[in-house]
Amino acid sequence: MLAVISEMVHRYRSPQADVAQALDTLESKLVDFSALTAGLDMSRFHLMDFGTRRRFSREVQETIVKRLQQESWFVGTSNYDLARRLSLTPMGTQAHEWFQAHQQISPDLANSQRAALAAWLEEYPDQLGIALTDCITMDAFLRDFGVEFASRYQGLRHDSGDPVEWGEKAIAHYEKLGIDPQSKTLVFSDNLDLRKAVELYRHFSSRVQLSFGIGTRLTCDIPQVKPLNIVIKLVECNGKPVAKLSDSPGKTICHDKAFVRALRKAFDLPHIKKAS
């Protein structure tokens, strides 16, 4: 639905924009990327297309992905149709909705995050093992992410807050649990572009496996085109409120302030000024 909304808006606002402009922009960025990574061991650099929901158009996304297929570090896309047609590996992680729904599915609010983590492993015991950490903040997540979960999940995904601080917390948590961080993967996907991905790669690549999911900056990067900042998130489950309390205050989502207070109390989080 988000992809349809995005394409319809861009058709109306930017009828002059086309695929060639998107490809030219990408080629320019790839030249800069080559300069940034000159002399750097890129054997552990992995990039995924996460650009479906805010793409300029289906045609632009497909063209961008086809071009990226020529790069050794490009490993897949979250778009299952493109993955099928282009013989790519479909890739993705958990959604916030999974954890949010368990806030009402679970009989105990304080245990809802652990219930969501456990239920996921029952369904996907040996695959799709990247856990999303920011539905109720990284700190609350790590308190629930004990040695059994940390051992069984393949890694963690960053989607809000300072990425370096988050990565350091993740590595320290694995070490505290006696787990070698080199055996785990950190996926960065929050407002990334190629330059930011390289900066994070330089910082972390010697200590942990890494993947980068880039969305809007790949599939809606065209001169004179303003990408839409749109999301669809769960606000109720079975007619009852749910919330997302991310590590970036502007990403907090809930329509019920009383439930936000209850959730923060259940997870021992300080009061925040505003839920939007």
pLDDT in tens, 57-105: 999 999 999 999 999 999 999 999 999 999 999 999 999 999 999 999 9
Q: Taking Cα atoms as reference points, which of 218, 253, 274 lies closest to residue 53?
A: 218
Two tokens, residue 146 = 């004990």
Q: What is the pLDDT of residues 214-234, one digit of tens each?
A: 999 999 999 999 999 999 999
188 vs 212: CA distance, rounded Å: 5
Whole-model pTM over 0.85: yes
Chain length of the chain: 276
164 vs 167: CA distance, rounded Å: 5
